[in-house]
């Protein structure tokens, strides 16, 4: 049945994308493989309902009921199809039949909708019985305060639709082509109106009210603190006679296994869970609990084997998809413990396809992050980085700057701790006039190697092209400080002279007020000028210039004073 399940998963994705025809085709293919799977008929019925092909939706709902008469969702599908066809009495009968099997909120909601529609039609009102929901003057406030709809209130078109519904209730039927309006109506009614139009196993179903399951067991350190129980209560079919006795015996074994698990007596737990499954092989929680015990013992391959068996057996006995999802989740955790992140990610994704939970979603994201970093580390090879950098140099000399960027990028990936790759790529970006990217690269080169003087020099040239003369002056001063052997002294002096000349041309005619106005556009300068300590130092310097030299002995103050000098606020002779 693996192919049928794969087709079902693809059909669910198509359904979620509202590609009704594709979903119908995929579910039809799955039915051809597994014609006794009631869920497939239910999902295809929902797809036909999405297209408003009520006759076909009804036919599939009835087939779903025929295959599994004790599954209440089939009656919800039938009621929805009959409601769509405006056969209200028959729809009410279908919902009531389902409620006799299970007191489901979805069935009760569907029944109420049909009764409201029937009453509205009897009054000669519009076929949509929900227009008056929006007549409450506090409607917008209710929608804005509810987390399900608050995000839509930022869209003026959505707010306009709500106001139109308030002004003209009879027109609301057309508005419900927007699925957000259906959700808004659900909020105003206090229910989730999308419950009966979602396929099983799509990962988007509303959870039924139930006790929250105990947390999934995680590897615990060797301490005296007991491990959390791996059990999950599941509603099981009613049985009698010898089957009832076997079921009771299996549940007792499961209970003893859980007690042993809590005490970290995993061998005893494994023995009990295995016996429970052998006694009553119709509840795959025995297998997932067994896998959890193996997991805690560090027997990850065995945990994977048992969970895969739980998945296969679960398919055969039509187990709750949430239990299948849990089995896949444990497979993913075991693979991650083994360091096999590729299979861990695949298993977590399969779990989310069956049933979406925050816990598994977080595990998937963590595994993906770890894999990205592991792949990055595995890719590092300084020798190959040098080869790629040389290729980039040849391409740069030939004027093929696009190819050079590509080669330098490969060099950086192969050895991100070598500043030369970033610096060379910055040169290629500069030739392509991609100055922001070039500036980002030289800053990264300086971060990797703060004593790489060539990176400072390249940054100065980029800043000059960008007309950022004050920042260029600060950078050339940094280059001077790091050029301890004087190898780049001549080039640094030439650049500093050019910067000073450009600054003279730029500021030569400025008044003191204009200089201050320009400089204060720099957030860092504005911060220095608003600092009470710096204000006091500057006031003191006006009356006693020699005092400024004393303050310059403090490296922090010296850096701020130099910033103001470079900005032209403090002028030197």
- Secondary structure (H, E, C), 488-516: CHHHHHHHHHHHHHHHHHHHCCCCHHHHH
DSSP for 277-341 reads HHH-TT-THHHHHHHHHHHHTT-HHHHHHHHHHHHHHHHHTT--HHHHHHHHHHHHHHHHHHT-H
Digitized pLDDT (tens) for each residue of the chain, 573 residues in all: 458 888 988 988 888 888 889 999 999 999 988 899 999 999 999 999 988 899 999 999 999 999 999 888 999 999 999 999 889 899 999 999 988 888 878 888 889 888 888 877 765 544 445 555 666 656 777 777 777 787 887 777 777 777 777 665 554 555 556 677 777 777 776 655 444 444 444 444 433 333 333 333 333 333 333 344 444 433 333 344 467 888 899 999 999 999 999 999 999 999 999 999 999 898 999 999 999 999 999 999 999 999 999 999 988 888 888 999 999 999 999 999 999 999 999 999 999 988 888 999 999 999 999 999 888 899 999 999 999 999 999 999 999 999 999 999 999 999 999 999 999 999 999 999 999 999 999 999 999 999 999 999 999 999 999 988 888 988 999 999 999 998 999 999 999 889 888 877 777 676 777 777 777 877 888 888 888 888 888 787 777 777 777 777 788 887 887 778 787 777 665
For residue 523 the two structure tokens come to: 């957030």
For residue 459 the two structure tokens come to: 């940054």
Distance CA 544, CA 565 (A): 17
Residue 338 inside a domain? The answer is yes
Distance CA 270, CA 298 (A): 13
> What pLDDT is recorded for position 381?
94
Looking at the 3D structure of the chain, how many domains does it have?
Answer: 5
Residue 289 inside a domain? The answer is yes
Alpha-carbon separation of residue 453 from 228, 325, 431 (angstroms): 57, 56, 20
Say if residue 102 is in the same domain as residue 179: no
> How far is Cα of residue 447 from the mean position of the Cα atoms in its chain?
31
Say if residue 52 is in the same domain as residue 91: yes
Q: Which domain holds residue 565?
A: 512-573
Give the 3-state secondary structure of residue 74.
Answer: helix
Looking at 100, 125, 150, which one is the last position of a domain? 125
Say if residue 367 is in the same domain as residue 309: yes
Say if residue 361 is in the same domain as residue 258: yes
Give me the torsion for CA of 144, 145, 149, 155, rounded to 10°.
Answer: 20
Say if residue 48 is in the same domain as residue 13: yes
Query: Residue 538's CB: how many other CB atoms inside 10 A?
Result: 18
Distance CA 341, CA 334 (A): 10
Residue 75 inside a domain? The answer is yes
Domain CATH number, residue 545: 1.10.260.100
Say if residue 372 is in the same domain as residue 261: yes
Query: Residue 73's CB: how many other CB atoms inside 10 A?
Result: 26
Burial of 430 (0-12, 13-18, 19+ CB in 10 A): buried
Distance CA 310, CA 450 (A): 56
Domain CATH number, residue 477: 1.25.40.10
Distance CA 168, CA 205 (A): 32
Distance CA 394, CA 398 (A): 6
Contacts of 81 (CB under 8 A, 6+ apart): 45, 48, 49, 54, 57, 58, 61
What is the DSSP-derived secondary structure letter of residue 223?
Answer: S
- Please tell me the number of Cα atoms within 13 Å of 191 on its side-chain side: 16
Query: Residue 13's CB: how many other CB atoms inside 10 A?
Result: 17
Burial of 477 (0-12, 13-18, 19+ CB in 10 A): middle
Distance CA 269, CA 265 (A): 6
Say if residue 118 is in the same domain as residue 22: yes
Residue 231 inside a domain? The answer is no
Give the 3-state secondary structure of residue 553.
Answer: coil
Say if residue 284 is in the same domain as residue 338: yes
Residue 78's nearest CA partner among 63, 67, 70 is 63
Say if residue 332 is in the same domain as residue 304: yes
Look-up of token digits 């014609």? 35
Say if residue 250 is in the same domain as residue 297: yes
Distance CA 230, CA 310 (A): 14
Looking at 378, 395, 420, which one is the last position of a domain? 378
Residue 194's nearest CA partner among 163, 158, 148 is 148
Say if residue 63 is in the same domain as residue 75: yes
What is the DSSP-derived secondary structure letter of residue 87?
Answer: -
For residue 345 the two structure tokens come to: 């990610």
> What pLDDT is recorded for position 230?
47
For residue 126 the two structure tokens come to: 């519009």
Give me the torsion for CA of 111, 116, 117, 119, rounded to 10°.
Answer: 120
Residue 524 inside a domain? The answer is yes
Distance CA 203, CA 275 (A): 32
Distance CA 288, CA 330 (A): 8
Residue 428's nearest CA partner among 462, 468, 456, 401 is 401
Distance CA 62, CA 56 (A): 10
Residue 410 inside a domain? The answer is no
Residue 436 inside a domain? The answer is no
What is the DSSP-derived secondary structure letter of residue 522?
Answer: S
Looking at 166, 200, 234, which one is the last position of a domain? 200
Distance CA 553, CA 549 (A): 7
Return the axis-axis angle of helices 555-567 and 469-482, rounded to nearest 10°: 140
Residue 119 inside a domain? The answer is yes
Burial of 539 (0-12, 13-18, 19+ CB in 10 A): exposed
Contacts of 496 (CB under 8 A, 6+ apart): 473, 476, 480
Say if residue 8 is in the same domain as residue 80: yes
Distance CA 312, CA 2 (A): 9
For residue 307 the two structure tokens come to: 């969970």
Contacts of 147 (CB under 8 A, 6+ apart): none
For residue 75 the two structure tokens come to: 């009656």
């Amino acid at each position: 049945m693996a192919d049928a399940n794969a087709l079902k998963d693809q059909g669910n994705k198509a359904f979620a994308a509202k590609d009704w025809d594709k979903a119908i085709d995929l579910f039809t293919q799955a039915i051809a493989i597994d014609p006794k799977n009631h869920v497939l008929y239910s999902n295809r019925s929902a797809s036909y309902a999405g297209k408003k092909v009520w006759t076909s939706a009804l036919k599939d709902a009835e087939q779903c009921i025929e295959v599994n008469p004790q599954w209440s969702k089939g009656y919800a599908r039938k009621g929805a199809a009959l409601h769509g066809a405006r056969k209200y009495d028959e729809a009410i009968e279908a919902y009531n039949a389902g409620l006799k099997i299970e007191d489901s909120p979805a069935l009760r909601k569907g029944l109420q909708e049909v009764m409201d529609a029937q009453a509205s039609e009897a009054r000669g009102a519009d076929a949509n019985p929900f227009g008056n929901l929006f007549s409450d003057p506090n409607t917008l406030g209710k929608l804005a305060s509810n987390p399900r709809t608050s995000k839509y209130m930022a869209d003026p078109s959505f707010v306009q639709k709500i106001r139109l519904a308030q002004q003209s209730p009879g027109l609301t039927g057309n508005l419900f082509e927007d699925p957000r309006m259906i959700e808004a109506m659900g909020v105003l009614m206090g229910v989730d109106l999308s419950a009966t139009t979602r396929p099983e196993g799509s990962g988007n179903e509303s959870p039924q009210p139930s006790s929250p399951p105990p947390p999934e067991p995680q590897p615990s350190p060797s301490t005296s603190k007991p491990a959390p129980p791996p059990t999950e209560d599941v509603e099981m079919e009613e049985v009698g006679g010898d089957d009832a006795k076997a079921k009771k015996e299996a549940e007792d074994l499961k209970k003893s296994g859980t007690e042993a698990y809590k005490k970290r007596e995993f061998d005893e737990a494994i023995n009990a869970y295995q016996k429970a499954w052998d006694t009553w092989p119709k509840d795959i929680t025995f297998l997932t609990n067994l896998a959890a015990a193996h997991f805690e013992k560090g027997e990850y391959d065995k945990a994977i084997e048992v969970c895969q068996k739980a998945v296969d057996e679960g398919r055969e006995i039509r187990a709750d998809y949430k239990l299948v999802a849990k089995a896949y989740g444990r497979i993913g955790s075991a693979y991650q413990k083994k360091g096999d992140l590729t299979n861990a990610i695949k298993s977590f994704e399969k779990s989310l396809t069956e049933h979406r939970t925050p816990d598994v979603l977080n595990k998937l994201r963590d595994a993906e992050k770890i894999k990205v970093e592991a792949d990055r580390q595995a890719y590092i090879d300084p020798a190959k980085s040098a080869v790629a950098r040389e290729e980039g140099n040849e391409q740069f000399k030939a004027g093929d700057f696009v190819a050079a960027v590509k080669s330098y990028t490969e060099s950086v990936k192969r050895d991100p701790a070598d500043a030369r790759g970033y610096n060379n790529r910055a040169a290629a970006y500069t030739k392509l006039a991609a100055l922001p990217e070039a500036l980002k690269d030289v800053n990264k080169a300086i971060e990797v190697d703060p004593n790489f003087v060539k990176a400072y020099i390249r940054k100065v040239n980029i800043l000059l092209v960008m007309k950022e003369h004050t920042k260029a002056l600060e950078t050339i001063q940094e280059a001077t400080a790091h050029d301890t052997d004087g190898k780049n002294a001549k080039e640094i002096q030439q650049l500093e002279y050019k910067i000073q000349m450009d600054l003279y041309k730029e500021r030569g005619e400025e008044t003191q007020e204009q200089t201050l106005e320009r400089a204060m556009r720099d957030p860092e300068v504005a911060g220095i000028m608003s600092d009470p300590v710096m204000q006091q130092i500057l006031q003191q310097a006006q009356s006693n210039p020699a005092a400024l030299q004393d303050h310059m002995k403090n490296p922090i103050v010296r850096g701020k004073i130099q910033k103001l000098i470079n900005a032209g606020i403090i002028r030197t002779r």
